[in-house]
Amino acid sequence: MSDNAKKAAAMIKRIMPGFKPKIGMILGSGLGAVSDQVKDSVIIHYDELPGFSLSHVEGHGHKLHLGVLKGVPVICFEGRAHTYEGIQEAIGVLRTLIRTLRLLGGEILLTTNAVGSLRADVPPGHLVVAKDHINFMFSNPLMGRNEDEFGERFVSMDDVYDLELRRQLLKIAKDKKIPLTEGVYLGTCGPTFETHAEIRAYKMLGADTVGMSTIPEVIVARHCGLKVAAVSYVVNLAAGMTDEKLSHEGTLKNAKLAIDHVANLFLAFVENVAKK
């Protein structure tokens, strides 16, 4: 899949000569409005770039926003691929997205996702920054032939979520009174929501949130040397914790509770990056 990433990076360089993003942001369900904050942006539809297009999930855009946020060159990926759309196809798209960012000179990946909370004290509208994850997707995007030009065969996950980036996000949230806590993210393939028994098991394993994305892109990012921070926004308490029936419509509705928090957190984070 490196060929697609190289072709996509070359196309972007032709469209925006000299553009070198410092930060890439992957926007999850309901957060397409965040990309509107990017100034002087150039918008490229995923269908126009080799290896980018797959997702057809409501609430996800299919556009790449390139521009400047708070004085920092950024790329916003509005929409992502999910393993439930086809594991091999989705992994191919995610490899291309992340490696394109790296080939353009990116240094940081800030990714978001909608999650169910396994903690009653972290209700819808709250944010959770990942300090670790549990991979229950039963796949790994680095399986197969290693792409030596991007990274080594065996990749340490000791520092998968960068400690300094987490500290920055937590400090910003504290200063701005944004409800943000740390937690362990558990990723599943989906597209079904979890059973009550699965949620009980995940709690025993130490998970704080559960979702259907993020882990594959994070692994690819670490493989090619990007620093990573992942911010989840809680859209529901997990199955069995309330009487509410889980649905994608509910995910989009409850995501609206956290959009302002996420936007404020991102803007302040990027502003901090600009000062360094």
Please say if 204 is a catalytic residue: no
β-strands 23-27, 63-69 pairing: unpaired
Identified catalytic residue from 4, 41, 113, 236:
236
Identified catalytic residue from 1, 8, 114, 130:
114
Q: Which candidate, 22, 27, 155, places its Cα nearest to that of 101?
A: 22
Residues 102, 155, 189, 128, CA torsion sign: negative
> At 238, phi and psi to the nearest 5?
-65, 165
Please say if 60 is a catalytic residue: yes
Please say if 164 is a catalytic residue: no
Identified catalytic residue from 10, 55, 84, 201:
84
CA dihedral 232, 22, 34, 119 (to 10 degrees): 10
Please say if 248 is a catalytic residue: yes
Identified catalytic residue from 10, 53, 85, 263:
85
Identified catalytic residue from 4, 46, 60, 62:
60
Identified catalytic residue from 4, 213, 232, 254:
213
Please say if 84 is a catalytic residue: yes
Please say if 232 is a catalytic residue: no
Please say if 213 is a catalytic residue: yes
Identified catalytic residue from 5, 90, 212, 221:
212
Please say if 236 is a catalytic residue: yes
Identified catalytic residue from 62, 82, 133, 223:
82
Please say if 271 is a catalytic residue: no
> At 257, phi and psi to the nearest 5?
-65, -30
Query: Can you tell me the distance from the alpha carbon of 35 to that of 237, in angstroms, rounded to the nearest whole number?
Result: 27
**Residue numbers annotated as active site:** 29, 60, 82, 84-85, 114, 212-213, 236, 248
